[in-house]
Structure 1
């Protein structure tokens, strides 16, 4: 690491080495060489005069050395063209192949096809990360399926739910994200061998006007690079809508991470849940007592960054003139890898937090008890009617007592005394008010819904991705 130049924190602090390697120069330019080899091999198979010695030299030098990178950089200083710089640099390593490297191809043959491979591999890694977080949240949800807690709508106290049921909401968001990632992977195709403006004119010339051989060339290269399909037509590039769709999918994962991270920060503020913390972790340089939700906060910050990158894909897809323009290049060098790196980092954090969440049942119960009398008023009203009371009269009494109890809480800072007020009201003399304060009376089917969700939604995911759940989880760098 250089301490004299800006370093991208996604690489130095947040994302995994695995994702960083997928978008590294060594991976990219190694893919370029493999694409050039696949092209040359396929051209030879279809009858072009490609010497065996050329292919042997290419196969022996697919992985770039530091000297290869230095030579390519030297060429690029003069040529101002990264693809041609690497063509010339590899030509020095493979002198017998120099005349046929990149034969008939345009730059997008290597750049676009390589980026599609990198995108596919990145989505596969994101898929693995998603599955691991889904599994961790599902285990947490099952463990706390029966634990009543105060629900919130508008961030105001509402009907109780359970700790586990709330976790299924976070988990379900990620299950929907997983479906989107799976869909993108299933629909991702290869650009293939399409030529300068997508017409395959140069390859038609190479094969003497034989269109069948041009089609076969496209198929052979696609098969060698392990893609089932190619895009039916292209301009010079593969459709930039593909990038927009991928970035939108990654943004969707970011939205889920941000939502859950925000919820966890609120719950830690209420002292009901806490993210894990290291024994020597410091919350504040000044306030030594602090225990901040720094992991959830970091997840939110990185998710927000990834979400912002989705607009780049939209703008790029919308501004590609005719067969292509090059204003996409610099943008895509940033938006594609950094979106993948940011989401990779988010899911590493999420897995760490979900696997180590701390729950404080007594605080949860106390917070619920402070609001439960208000939640119980409907049950109190119904019990009063069953005991012979007038529904409208009882409703007005409950309304007035609730208002006065609320004033005691807000203006005097005292405990909620609504039940005591009702007990002192003769209209409710025939009602067992204590029986209305059992929290489990108000959580509905939350426990059942939680267990059914884990069984019916998470269960099949666990079966499909059993191998992903046996691997080692990525570690946080900081």
Structure 2
């Protein structure tokens, strides 16, 4: 049985996904170590440093070896790292070629490169899910382009917006994350083969050529110089996950608040029993959003740890490196969970348009006081128009009347707008949506990779 939410039978699919767990499982990690060792042997055979038949034997052994995990765990606890114990098992499996295993490499070469291979696989999952989410949000923005609702600032109704506008704002963030991920890959996907102090002294003059071939074997970028203690690429990958989950946490917060009984503007998809209470039969809690918010908070802590872990001492760190062993897999698992919940929740989001319209009327027209003020300003002057509308708002708040009715009794306002009908038209929130629709169109065009209209 598991002891954390990541390996718990009860919670693991709430804080991760099976697909992402497979990337970071022990078996997958050891498999990456073996993949790196085999790639090193093949590269060195291409350089003429390792006999070709020895490299072939090492490669075959790396694919067919049956790992003794109990022995590997026990020896890892003694050594402090898994590579030396693993090299012993691989060398034995390779027979006479075993003497060429791990030639000129150091433990961190293998572990760093294996981690980069894991990150590449994990980021491919994240990129796919982000693109799926982009499509879902684009559909929401398009469908609800002109659906008016209350825009809120400081938790109070401010001005009308549309739900499509809100979804397009979410979409724009996801678009930027996709762009960030694509731009970050060349900085993150670096191979590492540099030897004990990073100088390749163990392999001599041909070391950089050997490093080039090693990176080619794994389809990774060759670094400008050793990055054993320059951890910005690894930290960037987790920081990127912090940005992604931060956006998902913002979306989750909006959905949770809009799902509150007092708002009632959206509901998460209905699944029998999901979000149910053990004592209150009426409850339908926004579970997906809650998990998305929890993931954002947890990944944020890992971002801080990774930034702290960048501070390595000299040419090999005495501890900060180990932080990555904790933060890297957990951050990807939490991000995968958050993306999966976002896709499920937003694809099936129930939008209550009538309740959005009803909520717009809660302030009896006060939400569009600015609309009346700006319409009257050309004739009355902005400040005078502001003062007159402000006085009408005060009367509406104190007396509970409709703003349009109060303004209709102010001759200067009627004259400035031209008629009582014009006052009522300006007091309709649906007529004061600004450029919400055009902004949605622009965001959709940019998201689709098309030139945006100006």
Q: What is the alpha-carbon distance in structure 2 between the residues aligned to residue 54 and residue 220 of structure 1?
A: 14
State the Cα deviation string for residues 179-218 of structure 1 (Å, max 9, x = none): 11111113224233211111111111xxxxxx1x222211
Judged with a 3 Å threshold, the aligned counterparts in structure 2 of structure 1 residues 47 and 59 are, in CA distance, closer, same or farther, namely: same
Alignment partner, residue 218 of structure 2:
225
Does the 8 Å contact 2:231/2:310 carry over to 1? yes
Q: What is the alpha-carbon distance in structure 2 between the residues aligned to residue 254 and residue 447 of structure 1?
A: 27
Secondary structure at the residue paired with 2:97? Answer: coil
Judged with a 3 Å threshold, the aligned counterparts in structure 2 of structure 1 residues 324 and 54 are, in CA distance, closer, same or farther, namely: closer
Q: 1:419 aligned to 2:404?
A: yes
Q: 1:287 aligned to 2:276?
A: no
State the Cα deviation string for residues 213-259 of structure 1 (Å, max 9, x = none): 222211111110112x3212126x16212222222111111110111
Secondary structure at the residue paired with 2:171? Answer: helix
Judged with a 3 Å threshold, the aligned counterparts in structure 2 of structure 1 residues 425 and 48 are, in CA distance, closer, same or farther, namely: closer
Judged with a 3 Å threshold, the aligned counterparts in structure 2 of structure 1 residues 371 and 203 are, in CA distance, closer, same or farther, namely: same
CA positional deviation for 1:367: 0.8
Alignment partner, residue 261 of structure 1:
252
Judged with a 3 Å threshold, the aligned counterparts in structure 2 of structure 1 residues 64 and 344 are, in CA distance, closer, same or farther, namely: farther
Paired residues, number: 441
Q: What is the alpha-carbon distance in structure 2 between the residues aligned to residue 215 and residue 75 of structure 1?
A: 32
TM norm structure 1: 0.85
> Which structure is richer in relative contact order (CA contacts within 8 A, separation 6 or more)?
1
Secondary structure at the residue paired with 1:97? Answer: helix
Q: What is the alpha-carbon distance in structure 2 between the residues aligned to residue 78 and residue 401 of structure 1?
A: 79
Q: What is the alpha-carbon distance in structure 1 between the residues aligned to residue 54 and residue 207 of structure 2?
A: 24
CA positional deviation for 1:434: 2.5
TM-align CA RMSD: 2.6
Alignment partner, residue 467 of structure 1:
none
Q: What is the alpha-carbon distance in structure 2 between the residues aligned to residue 149 and residue 7 of structure 1?
A: 38
Secondary structure at the residue paired with 2:341? Answer: helix
Alignment partner, residue 398 of structure 1:
389
Alignment partner, residue 472 of structure 1:
none
The 10-residue stretch of structure 1 (17-26 or 391-400) with the greater mean CA deviation from structure 2: 391-400
Q: What is the alpha-carbon distance in structure 2 between the residues aligned to residue 120 and residue 336 of structure 1?
A: 12
Q: What is the alpha-carbon distance in structure 2 between the residues aligned to residue 54 and residue 385 of structure 1?
A: 82
Unaligned runs of 5+ in 1: 205-210, 410-415, 462-478
Q: What is the alpha-carbon distance in structure 1 between the residues aligned to residue 195 and residue 383 of structure 2?
A: 80
Alignment partner, residue 172 of structure 2:
172
TM norm structure 2: 0.89
Q: Which one of 420, 432, 453 corresponds to residue 443 of structure 2?
A: 453
Judged with a 3 Å threshold, the aligned counterparts in structure 2 of structure 1 residues 203 and 439 are, in CA distance, closer, same or farther, namely: same
Alignment partner, residue 337 of structure 1:
329
Unaligned runs of 5+ in 2: none
Does the 8 Å contact 1:189/1:231 carry over to 2? no
Secondary structure at the residue paired with 1:157? Answer: strand
Alignment partner, residue 44 of structure 2:
43
Judged with a 3 Å threshold, the aligned counterparts in structure 2 of structure 1 residues 296 and 6 are, in CA distance, closer, same or farther, namely: closer
Q: 1:125 aligned to 2:125?
A: yes
Secondary structure at the residue paired with 1:160? Answer: strand
Alignment partner, residue 304 of structure 2:
311
Secondary structure at the residue paired with 1:14? Answer: coil
Alignment partner, residue 428 of structure 2:
438
Q: 1:52 aligned to 2:53?
A: yes
Judged with a 3 Å threshold, the aligned counterparts in structure 2 of structure 1 residues 444 and 49 are, in CA distance, closer, same or farther, namely: closer
Alignment partner, residue 324 of structure 1:
316
